[in-house]
Structure formats: C-alpha cells, structure tokens
Amino acid sequence: MSACTVGPQDQPVPVEVPHVTRRATAAIAASGVPLTMRAHLLRGDRLVRVERVVPAGKGIEPALSALALPLSRDEVAQGLRTALPDSTTTMRGV
C-alpha cells in the first residue's frame, strides 16, 4: 500500500495548458458569467476535489483564482487544507 504526501513546492512547476482559441477565450471572458472551477485541496495526505465559483477570465486566470481562494468555513470544518505556502501571492498578467 502506498500513500501520497503532498507538501508545498519550493518552485513553480511548468504545466501544459490545452490550446484554446482566442475567439473561445474572448467569448467566455466577455460573457462575465462566473465559472465553476474544480480545485483540489488536502485532507491529511489525500486530495479532495472541491468546486469553487470564480469570475470569468483569460487563460489560466480562473483556475489560479480557484486555487487562491481562502478556505471556506465548511472546507475548514471538513478538515481540508491547502498546500500553498503562506508566502504565496497572486500572479498578475498571466
């Protein structure tokens, strides 16, 4: 049996983002409709998927916004936590 222990990262790790056309991105951003994004938090050493509502944005902004939101009272009550270090700041211009 194995377990996954996830801690904060020392450095950012590049990830590949699926190609989305500019037209599709512009249409989503122009709509101004909030998006429901899936994010993963930790309970102990296990990942737990949660859904978070974030403003529409360009590129990976909505996903980063979903990860950067503070934990809700319900999430804290469920024993969830984030692996982002306290020193993490919001990136601009991504």
Q: Which of 24-33, 35-44, 51-60 has the lowest mean pLDDT?
A: 24-33
How far is 60 from 65, CA to CA, in rounded Å? Answer: 9
Domain residues for the domain of 49 are 35-84
Q: What is the reported pTM? A: 0.54
Do residues 41 and 68 touch, judged by C-beta distance below 8 A?
Answer: no
Residue 64 placed within a domain: yes
How far is 37 from 50, CA to CA, in rounded Å? Answer: 8
Q: Does the structure show a pLDDT above 70 at 67?
A: yes
Residue 27 placed within a domain: no
Residue 29 placed within a domain: no
How far is 30 from 38, CA to CA, in rounded Å? Answer: 21
The pLDDT tens digits of the residues spanning 38-56 come to 888 899 888 999 988 888 8
Could you give the number of structural domains in the chain?
Answer: 1
Report the Cα–Cα distance between both ends of the chain, in Å, rounded.
Answer: 39
Residue 71 placed within a domain: yes
Residue 42 placed within a domain: yes
Residue 75 placed within a domain: yes
- Which one-letter DSSP state was computed for residue 75? H
Residue 26 placed within a domain: no
Residue 21 placed within a domain: no
How far is 10 from 83, CA to CA, in rounded Å? Answer: 11
